[in-house]
Amino acid sequence: MAGYLQAAALGVFAAMSLAGAALAQAERGPECGWDVATQRFVDGGAPAWVGLGGSPDFAATYIWGDARSWMILHHCPSDRYILIVARNSDADRVQERFNFLLETDTKYTMDQIGADLATLGAGVRRGQGDIGRCDCDVLASWAR
């Protein structure tokens, strides 16, 4: 029982540390850039805001452009991701639903999240290993 409580306490501490790091990140500003033409992380580019994607293994990234907004859910260990693109006129409701799906107690797969957001008119692309890892590098830096 003591081992279980110790492990639970460590898990809570780790989550609090990541949450604190996420808050500090928001105060510093974006640490990643996004190329809207190639749809990849780049040095410079549009500001890309990184946060936790429901668990420490997932990065959730938000990019706001002139006509479109992008959301990325990136599973860092496997490098799999879903990229969601919404017209700015739909972006608020798509982002609200994206956040809800990440924060609810019910767990959804990346495919389920993509299918759900597609019903709101968002474009969804699934991929692996071809957009860069800036978001995952930021997440890893928070855990240090």
51's CB contacts (< 8 A; 6+ apart) are 22, 25, 26, 59, 60, 61, 62
Predicted confidence (pLDDT) per residue in 56-75, tens digit: 999 999 999 889 999 999 99
- Domain with 49 in it: 2-143
Does pTM top 0.75 for this prediction?
A: yes
Q: Look at residue 28 in the predicted model and tell me its pLDDT.
A: 59
- Residue 107 DSSP code: -
How many domains does one find in the chain? 1
